[in-house]
Amino acid sequence: MKRRTFLQHSAALAAVPLVGLPSSARGLTGASVARGAVAPLRVNAERLNGWLAAFDKIGRTPTGINRVAYSPADLEGRAFTLGLIKDAGLVPRVDSAGNIYARLAGTDASLKPILIGSHVDSVTDGGNYDGPVGSFSAIEVARSLRDQQVRLRHPVDVVIWQNEEGGTIGSKLAINDLTDADLDKVARSGKTIREGIGLVGGDVAKLKDAVKKSGDFACYIELHIEQGGLLEKAGLQIGVVEGIVGLRWFEVTITGFANHAGATPMNQRHDAMLAAAKFTVAVNEAVTGEPGRQVATVGRVNVLPNTTNVIPAQVVLTVDLRDLDRAKLTHFTERFEQLGRDIGTATGTTFAFKRLVDSEPALANAQVMSWIESSATALGLTKQRMPSGAGHDAQEIARIAPMGMIFVPSVGGISHSPKEFTTAADVAHGADVLLNAVIAADLG
Amino acid sequence: MKRRTFLQHSAALAAVPLVGLPSSARGLTGASVARGAVAPLRVNAERLNGWLAAFDKIGRTPTGINRVAYSPADLEGRAFTLGLIKDAGLVPRVDSAGNIYARLAGTDASLKPILIGSHVDSVTDGGNYDGPVGSFSAIEVARSLRDQQVRLRHPVDVVIWQNEEGGTIGSKLAINDLTDADLDKVARSGKTIREGIGLVGGDVAKLKDAVKKSGDFACYIELHIEQGGLLEKAGLQIGVVEGIVGLRWFEVTITGFANHAGATPMNQRHDAMLAAAKFTVAVNEAVTGEPGRQVATVGRVNVLPNTTNVIPAQVVLTVDLRDLDRAKLTHFTERFEQLGRDIGTATGTTFAFKRLVDSEPALANAQVMSWIESSATALGLTKQRMPSGAGHDAQEIARIAPMGMIFVPSVGGISHSPKEFTTAADVAHGADVLLNAVIAADLG
């Protein structure tokens, strides 16, 4: 279908059957919808969920969805996605970083695009919702705007970031945040990022062409599954993301002294595992003992010599600390280091901290949050503001554009698992909010 | 040298030079020594420590002593030991189980032998003292008795048990406590026990010939390094072992639920590692919170998926619990299981306990302890009663004979390590106590 100006809408209306769409959706400006003058628009939920169902077959293995970046299944997934974009009447473009863009033109050539999208790669043994829900909804939003002949002033750019699960690689390339050395890191598929960029249709020699600058986009809005259980537990339909938490990863090496588990009295031990256990409990008590939504996890623990009858000589463990507030990250970092010193003294062990990762919180833009919020309200959906504990491409793009994210509930709070699931109704709610938030953003 | 009766001693005395021996040692009965009528006998400490120094070259590798049972180094060590026995004027015999015996005849053919000895195999990357100290001292005691022409009423049987470090295999065979299936287990050398028995000169088809019955020995006394730091810390020279602790090994499987470390609020987690940490701390508090010498160790911990940003789904850990008192083992077993239930409830996880090992405490015989104690006193050595936290062949032989053990200090409490060390003076003290305890046992 060719693009039409808003002035052409009335003429087109008579010719195009709009089965199943509310009559209020026909021939509207974004302004009239966003101002609440008419009922909010809705996407074609059946079509959107149909895409998700079809996509579930790509990379499906007995242990879950495996569309890890640069794998054959990822390439198949991208091809499927390109097909959806084309079916929506848009022209997809793979940039030199391997990110897919597609533009729905606006009426005002002086305005910057509203960017919407997500990713379609998966973790190992993951699910079908983390990424595709936001990606396909963005395509569906563009398609719905076209189908419903709602012509916005701003262009709408749909984006599918490559290799989100490998560390928001595509969006990092878009903000020029990867070094040449980073490109040689091996992704889960076994390919380096450098190789992967070529495989997905990019061009490592021209990566600069893919870099976006501050001001290039009017805003960025990403719909995503929550990956936690807050919305489900609260019985709410929409999460209005306040930001993506900052993340600190520590590797803590606790050194004691190996000795005979039978012959060494309890008061003569330097038990690295006992120290590690006390530290794990203390970290948990520290973060739960203060108000706030900070989280900390001891996820990886390796014990030496790891033998039943030998007192552990050394434990290497990791702490994953996250919060939306940078000051809290600093506060808990100091607290954990102090706990290590105290427990080391008490147990006759030493604690050494190494910071593996240190990423800043990425705050959502207040205006974008309000567009999301008012859209949910107009759609009669229940909502709450909340942080994103998981990382997203939005955290990178927040550095060059006003950013907002929409969350929809994950059943059981489960993600990165074959059990990952979001209901078709909730997918539709999220896409509807995205559609109306884009319309609100267009009004500005 | 031929064996002589006590009545021959006076005649022999004139002919045999007894350089460096106290005059009181010549031509004595055990009774006169044990009754304190004369100064206690002493072994030839220089000779004994010379054997240990020479033995240190066998199986020595850059990472420690490696004379694991049935390895070429073990066979070399056994050959060296057989040489020492022959040099002592005794005739060694390898029985069908591969244990080495050598008899110093007594004067009363109706009396059962006093059994003394230990083992010469090592752990992987171990030291030179765990085993050889007791084995060579037993040989030296027999040689000293001969050299010093102290003829005992009882025969003295020196024994070198095969494969102690693989699970007191030689002594278990001696009490008929291994099944046919046990023989097919692979030892650290890579050989099965069945193969190993053949390699060390035994005969698997005739294992019954190696079985000893209750009443076959007057008593069993084993000298060993402490392998703990109690004696050194207390500044004492001799440990009078009250028994070898009973041992229970539990494998505890803690099952939670894997979830996103960022997106899952602290109060919605089922964190198996947090539960494991609380349990590890609680086990420690339980055993240290009651009077007694019980010890418990969480030595092996395996976490799934063991990833920095995933809340652990499962932890499998082991608890090694030891005490001399069977009732305490039962008490703490129940306590640990209760702690598991409570912590499981508190953390939303489940605890499953599997008992891997359950060995009964082996108590030392009161009479044998008193012989050891009075010998230490006569020698002017400081001492204390204490349990053996480590396992020994003595725990097996305790089932068929009155058992006692003598401990000498381990520097730094270290054993099963290349750093394992006991001073030459302490080795001599231990051997002296063994010598005089044998003399006391002979008196009965």
Structural domain spans, chain B: 6-14+28-244+362-443, 246-359
Predicted pLDDT at B22: 40
What is the secondary structure of A318-379 as a DSSP string? EEEEEES-HHHHHHHHHHHHHHHHHHHHHHT-EEEEEEEEEE--EEPPHHHHHHHHHHHHHT
Contact across the interface for B413 and A264, Cβ inside 8 Å = yes
Predicted pLDDT at A416: 87
Judge whether B323 is closer than 8 Å to chain A, CB to CB.
Answer: no
**Cα distance between residue B97 and residue B50, in whole Å:** 29
Nearest Cα residue to A272 out of A340, A355, A319, A354: A340
- Which of B227, B301, B314, B415 to probe the A interface (max A CBs under 10 A)? B301
Residue with tokens 């730091």: B229
Judge whether B378 is closer than 8 Å to chain A, CB to CB.
Answer: no
Nearest Cα residue to A218 out of A142, A115, A138, A145: A115
Across B155-174, b (16+ Cβ under 10 Å) vs e yields bbbbbbbbbbbbbbbbbbbb
- Single pTM value for the model: 0.81
Q: Is the pLDDT of residue A22 over 60?
A: no
Contact across the interface for A263 and B391, Cβ inside 8 Å = no
Contact across the interface for A277 and B274, Cβ inside 8 Å = no
CA distance A2 to chain B (A): 42
Predicted pLDDT at B28: 58
Residues in chain A: 444
Q: What residues of B are in contact with residue A247 (Cβ under 8 Å)? A: 262
Q: What residues of A are in contact with residue B312 (Cβ under 8 Å)? A: 298-299, 301
For domain B6-14+28-244+362-443, the CATH superfamily is: Zn peptidases (3.40.630.10)
Predicted pLDDT at B118: 98
- For chain A, counts of helices (H) and of strands (E): 13, 17
What's chain B look like in SS3? CCCCCHHHHHHHHHHCCCCCCCHHHCCCEHHHHHCCCCCCCCCCHHHHHHHHHHHCCCCEECCEECCCCCCHHHHHHHHHHHHHHHHCCCCEEECCCCCEEEEECCCCCCCCCEEEEEECCCCCCECCCCCHHHHHHHHHHHHHHHHCCCECCCCEEEEEECCCCCCCHHHHHHCCCCCCCHHHCECCCCCEHHHHHHHCCCCHHHHHHHCCCCCCCCEEEEEEECCCCHHHHHCCCEEEEEEECEEEEEEEEEECECEECCCCCHHHCECHHHHHHHHHHHHHHHHHCCCCCCEEEEEEEEEECCCCCEECCEEEEEEEEEECCHHHHHHHHHHHHHHHHHHHHHHCCEEEEEEEEEECCEECCHHHHHHHHHHHHHCCCCEEEEEECCCCHHHHHCCCCCEEEEEECCHHHCCCCCCCCCCHHHHHHHHHHHHHHHHHHHHC
CA distance A391 to chain B (A): 8
Predicted pLDDT at A28: 58
The percentage of chain A sitting over the pLDDT mark of 70, rounded to a whole number, equals 91
Mean pLDDT estimate for chain A:
92
Q: A6-244+362-443 and A246-359: same fold?
A: no
**Of A359 and A372, which is predicted with more confidence?**
A372
CA distance A297 to chain B (A): 6
Judge whether B299 is closer than 8 Å to chain A, CB to CB.
Answer: yes
Q: What residues of B are in contact with residue A227 (Cβ under 8 Å)? A: 260, 262-263
Chain A residue nearest residue B268, CA to CA: A229
Predicted pLDDT at A18: 31
Q: What residues of A are in contact with residue B229 (Cβ under 8 Å)? A: 264-265, 268
Judge whether B277 is closer than 8 Å to chain A, CB to CB.
Answer: yes
Q: What residues of B are in contact with residue A297 (Cβ under 8 Å)? A: 261, 271, 308-311
Predicted pLDDT at B444: 84
Judge whether A111 is closer than 8 Å to chain B, CB to CB.
Answer: no
Nearest Cα residue to A164 out of A50, A102, A244: A244
Chain A residues 242-261 within an 8 A CB cutoff of chain B: 245, 247, 249, 258-261
CA distance B254 to chain A (A): 14
Across B244-254, b (16+ Cβ under 10 Å) vs e yields bbbbbbbbbbb
Judge whether B138 is closer than 8 Å to chain A, CB to CB.
Answer: no
A239 neighbors A387 (Cβ within 8 angstroms): no
Nearest to A320 among B309, B320, B416 (CB): B309
Predicted pLDDT at B251: 98
Judge whether B311 is closer than 8 Å to chain A, CB to CB.
Answer: yes
Predicted pLDDT at B416: 87
CB atoms within 10 A of CB A185: 15
Contact across the interface for A229 and B274, Cβ inside 8 Å = no
Contact across the interface for A308 and B356, Cβ inside 8 Å = yes
Nearest to A277 among B260, B263, B281 (CB): B281
> Which two tokens mark B94?
């390898």
- Which of A257, A309, A392 to probe the B interface (max B CBs under 10 A)? A309
Predicted pLDDT at B8: 32
Return the amino acid letter for A152. L
Predicted pLDDT at A348: 98
pLDDT in tens, A319-355: 999 999 999 999 999 999 999 999 999 999 999 999 9
Predicted pLDDT at A60: 97
CA distance B317 to chain A (A): 8
Q: Is the pLDDT of residue A11 over 80?
A: no
**Cα distance between residue B147 and residue B140, in whole Å:** 10
End-to-end CA distance of chain B: 28
Nearest to B299 among A279, A298, A310 (CB): A310
Residue A246 gets which letter from DSSP? E
- Which of B130, B242, B259 to probe the A interface (max A CBs under 10 A)? B259
Q: What residues of A are in contact with residue B284 (Cβ under 8 Å)? A: 266, 271, 274, 277
CA distance B40 to chain A (A): 30
Q: Which of A144-148, A256-260, B117-121, B222-226 has the lowest mean pLDDT?
A: A256-260
pLDDT in tens, A118-141: 999 999 889 999 999 999 999 999
Chain B residue nearest residue A303, CA to CA: B301
Q: What residues of B are in contact with residue A229 (Cβ under 8 Å)? A: 264-265, 268
Nearest Cα residue to A272 out of B298, B416, B322: B298
> Which two tokens mark A8?
């052409």
Contact across the interface for A263 and B417, Cβ inside 8 Å = no
Contact across the interface for A276 and B278, Cβ inside 8 Å = no
Could you give the ipTM of this predicted complex? Answer: 0.82
CA distance A116 to chain B (A): 22
Residues in chain B: 444
Longest dimension (CA), chain B: 92
Nearest to B306 among A230, A301, A390 (CB): A301
**Cα distance between residue A264 and residue A303, in whole Å:** 19
A410 neighbors A227 (Cβ within 8 angstroms): yes
Predicted pLDDT at A127: 96
Predicted pLDDT at A338: 98
**Cβ-Cβ contacts under 8 Å for B11 (sequence gap 6 or more):** none
CATH code of the domain occupying A246-359: 3.30.70.360
Print pLDDT tens along chain B (444 aa). 333 333 233 323 222 223 333 434 445 565 665 555 567 999 999 999 999 999 999 999 999 999 999 999 999 999 999 999 999 999 999 999 999 999 999 999 999 999 999 999 999 889 999 999 999 999 999 999 999 999 999 999 999 999 999 999 999 999 999 999 999 999 889 999 999 999 999 999 999 999 999 999 999 999 999 999 999 999 999 999 999 999 999 999 999 999 889 989 999 999 999 999 999 999 999 999 999 999 999 999 999 999 898 899 999 999 999 999 999 999 999 999 999 999 999 999 999 999 998 999 999 999 999 999 999 999 999 999 999 999 999 999 999 999 999 999 999 999 888 999 999 999 999 999 999 999 999 998
For domain A6-244+362-443, the CATH superfamily is: Zn peptidases (3.40.630.10)
**Cα distance between residue A251 and residue A237, in whole Å:** 37
CB atoms within 10 A of CB A56: 14
Predicted pLDDT at B19: 32
Chain B residue nearest residue A311, CA to CA: B299
Predicted pLDDT at A153: 97
